Amino acid sequence: MLNDKTILVTGGTGSFGKQFVKTVLQKYSPKKLIIFSRDELKQFEMSQHFSEEQYPCIRYFIGDIRDKERLIRAFKGVDYVIHAAALKHIPICEYNPFEAIKTNVIGVMNIIDAALETGVKRVIALSTDKACSPVNLYGATKLCLEKLFTQANSYSGETGTRFSCVRYGNVIASRGSVIPFFLQERKKGVIPITDERMTRFWMTLDQAVELVLTSLARMYGGETFIPKISSMRVVDLAKAVAPECSLKIIGTRPSEKLHELLISIDENNRASDLGDCYALFPEFSWWASEKYQDIKKVEDGFSYSSLNNTQWLSVDDLRRLVNQLENKHEF
């Protein structure tokens, strides 16, 4: 569905954006692939790997999602938008709440308005497990994103622009990942751990891109797609990265959970199992889950947390992943 189409990625110079661009260029033949972001240096560096001379379809647009006029201009003629731009570092969002809201909430409203005005066919946004029962501002802004994107389908009507989300956990080797921090601390011989009980959902950038591409193809508008991914214990990750180091328990940081949720018990009335993933369906009068074949509602009382997960990455699994990424110079 991406062949001969125009695709725009907000935050296209980030970890996800670069992997998404790489995948699309390898597997598809888009008419245009637009990288929309606000940092000219990151665009220049990215253009050294994905040049317009080598890939005639690629375009680099400087712009900020806070600027609706620039978004409207950038969205003209675009078929699909992947919204990955965000302020995502939890302590920074806590310290700069106004800025987090301007980008992660007001920016999302601008994306929706621009897509509606220019007739974009489909828009899919990246959310996070931290949006589920949020305890920090970053998670709260991503919950706002999900609510705004779901309701945006009512503004566009049954035949207009379609909006959906994907919600997933921590991504190995993404910008701000804990692994580079552990690699740095390894030199000191001691790895700081906030809490030895802590667990997290864990996935690769390839898995994140595949989820977005699959969801873009199957979406009707209003869904929040949630992958079935593995959990890991943070202490196991530390052992995988630095087996020779000792561990120092330093206590949880403000606004940090021991375990993350991808589906809360309060959401399971809207949750269905699509086989390869879960989905939260909207409660519109015009929307029916019968659009999907062979689905089943999750059981009453179901929740999907990094603690009660049935898939786990062992120390050996994590070590293999880390070694693969180190060999590729992903950190």
pLDDT of residue 329: 65
> What is the rounded distance in angstroms from the CA atom of residue 212 to the CA atom of residue 215?
5
Residue 81's pLDDT band (cuts 50, 70, 90): very high
- pLDDT tens digits for range 154-202: 998 777 999 999 999 999 877 767 888 898 899 999 999 999 999 999 9
The per-residue pLDDT for 322 is 86
18 has catalytic annotation: no
For the chain, which residues make up each domain, given as ranges?
Answer: 6-169+203-228+261-304
The alpha-carbon radius of gyration of the chain (Å, integer) is 20
pLDDT of residue 7: 98
Choose the catalytic residue: 68, 130, 239, 257.
130
Provide the CA 36 distance to its chain's centre, in angstroms.
16
**Per-residue pLDDT tens for 136-152?**
999 999 999 999 999 99
Cα four-point dihedral sign 223, 229, 33, 173: positive
Q: Is the pLDDT of residue 281 over 60?
A: yes
**CATH code assigned to 6-169+203-228+261-304:** 3.40.50.720
Q: Which helix (H) or strand (E) holds 224?
A: strand 224-227
Q: State the pLDDT confidence band at 94, using cuts at 50, 70 and 90.
A: very high
